[in-house]
Structure formats: structure tokens, C-alpha cells
Structure 1
Amino acid sequence: MQGVRGSSPLSSTKSRKSACCPRHADFFVCRAPGAVTGIAASRSAARRGAHSNNGRMVAMCTCAPAGPRHPNQRLPSPAGSPRPVPAVRCPCNSGDTLEACCGRFLDAPAGTRFAPTAGALMRSRYTAFATGNAAYLLRTWHPDTRPGSVGLDPGQQWYRLDILDTVRGGPLDHDGIVAFRAHFRAGGARDSLLETSRFVRIGRQWLYVDAL
């Protein structure tokens, strides 16, 4: 801590005990104006710093705090610990995260994981449009109707999917129909696509056929 003379801040840790925690018996954090925030100092040094700066002292004990923490006190994170990444919601509007929903199909190597129903495939294909995954769209398209390529407009932002109706398309069915409305923004205007899609199941994989 700046402005403190004498022995090292760590030298007095064995000389005193605290009712709070013997491991952190003599350590405080100086919240005085101008003090180096987050630097630990001995009890006596901290008091001198507080007196000279007319500040406040806050016990820095993370094991068994004797009382409520000062509202400005922040306990340090372990060095090198990564910050948590906020979960991304799936674009298909299911309410789940992308990783737990459509992402598990889009990110899986080809031929290893399939959408279990026609509705799930419809959602995953919408998510592929929303995230620009043309490869997934092609590999979930029936070979009889599959185009040579898929052109995705980067200026088209898909922001909501509404499933309107589903006919068959379950895990034990061989075909299914899904009616939906997909909402998007393009050129500063909002619009939507209304479609009734036909799907078939070949083996364990559901495939998009065409629009009715």
C-alpha cells in the first residue's frame, strides 16, 4: 500500500489472530481515497492509511466473514480464471440455448447426429438460415430436390420462428408436414415467410423435400 512505512505487509500475519478467520487475521483492504484498491496490508498499516486518508477499512476474509461486506468491496477472482460466457439463445425461439437446442445438430459432424422429428429438423434448418450455415441446409435437403448451392443474403436477418401446425413427423413416422411463419428484416423493413414444408425420413435422418 502506498505511503506505508516499516515491515512488509505480510510480515505480521502470524503475530495476531482474528475472530473472523486465522488465515486472514491481519489483512484488510483499504478503501481510502487515493489508496491502491485491492492491496492487502497489515492491521496497523491499514489503520494508518485510513487515518491519513480519512477512509474506511474493510475486512478481507473470504472464509467466514464476521459481518456483511462493505458495498464497495470486491473479492478478487483467481488469476487466469476465464470469465463466464453468456449463453446464446437458440434462434428457433424454443427458449433453450443454442448449444442445447439446434446447435447440437448444426455443429455435429455430418452423419453423426440427426433431428429426431420433422419439427426439430424444421427448427434446425431455420437456425441454419439465421446463422448462415449453408452446409447444414444442403445436407438436410432430400437429394431429389436438393439444389447445387444455397444463396444466403447477409442483409437478411431472421429473428423469429412460429410453428403453426405439424402433421405426423414423429420419431416413428416416415413423412411429416410442418407449417410455419419465419420473420425477418431486410433493407430496414420487416417481412415474413409463410410456408408449409414436406419432410420424409430415410433411416434415422429426416430430410426436407419441398414446400407445398
Structure 2
Amino acid sequence: MAAFVLIPGAASGPWYWHLLEAELHGRGHDVVAVDLPCDEDSAGLAEYADTVVDAIDGRTRPILVAHSFGGFTAPLVCDRVPVDLLVMLQAQIPSPGESPGQWWSHTGYEQARREQDARDGREPDDDTALFHHDTPPALAAEAKKHTRTQSATPFLAPWPLAAWPDAPTKFLLSRDDRFFPAEFMRRIVRERLGMTPDEMPGDHCPMLGHPKELADRLEAYRPGA
């Protein structure tokens, strides 16, 4: 049995993990989906990391799974708590001294998104097509109800670590994502982590569209699996 700690992205919470959580529970694993204080203006990345450490609650060497903006928080946790593995799931990869707000321009994200939008022919205000085009329609509609207010506070301060933490790290790329286009993410993973990402089908939220395959991948990543 492994302990999985699931860290959400911006403006989201534990609901986004419920299908994956059920899948992993059904396989006998311990799972906690973290509820970050994303709507609290008093909370920055340090408070996000505190929340994750509190959620770990004494679990020994958990596996952290960080989605999207959760990529800024998870390494801070790894710097404080021994983990068996950090899985970056279509996650932002920070650089030392870079604020989350700077990540977009530093990585060339806007150009990559313009090119992806042109390929997709997406209407600018169609967020479902951007985030959930590969999610079952009923789940995509439900996801809108669970979108939360995201405070700007954690985007303002520089990422505090001087280097990537000494924790085994995997990057799992969702190759059909229109929000973080695949070729863009492959480049960022090579440049910032020096590795080639693993890939699976899915949009920005593969935990909704492909929970079983995602659970398979996470189980295969377990040390000694």
C-alpha cells in the first residue's frame, strides 16, 4: 500500500481528484486530496505548503501528485518532508527566484497558447474547450460548479528554493491539453528538469477524463512496483 497526497491546481480543490481518489482507494491505497486555501488573500505559497504538510499528517514517505499550479507548492513540501516520489502531473515547473506570475512570460507561454488556439479554432470564451474537451460532458459541466476563486497572493512572491529538492521526480504530460500545449510542456520539462516526460491521453484534467489510466501510471511509478 502507498500513501498518495494529491495537490490541486489553481482555483480548484479536492473534488477534481474524486474519481482518481476512488480508483486508488479501490486498489488498497491511502489517499488524501488536499484542500488548499486558494480563495484566501492571506495565503501564499508558504501557507499552501503548510496545508499540504498538515494533510500528510505523519504519513511516512508519501507520493506527492501535483497538478498544474500545484507544481509551485509540491517542491516546497519535498524540501520539508521526506517523500518516496514527486509526480508532476501537467504541472508548472518553477525556477529559483521566479514568481508564479512571471512563469508565463519567462517560459514563452503566451506564444505557445496563441499557436495552440489557432490550431484548435477555439472560441476565445469557450473554457470547456480549453480545459475539458476530453472530459465526459457531464463531468465537464460539474467541474464548472467546483471552480473556486483564486487569490492573486501566491503569484506575487519569488519561488523561495535555491534549487530543485532532492526528491525522486517524474513528469507525466497530458498530451491533448490545450491550456498547456504538449510541445510547449515537453520543452519546459527538458529545460527545467532535464528529463523527457512520460505521456498519457487527456486534456488539462486527466484525473477526470482518464482516472483509471492515471491510477495505473501512478501505481507503476511506486518504488518497488
Under a length normalisation based on structure 2, what TM-score does the superposition of the two structures give?
0.23
Instruction: Please identify which structure carries the higher helix content.
Output: 2
Instruction: Please identify which structure carries the higher strand content.
Output: 1
Under a length normalisation based on structure 1, what TM-score does the superposition of the two structures give?
0.24
User: Which is higher, the Rg of structure 1 or of structure 2?
Assistant: 1
Q: State the structure with bigger RCO (CA 8 A, min sep 6), 1 or 2.
A: 2
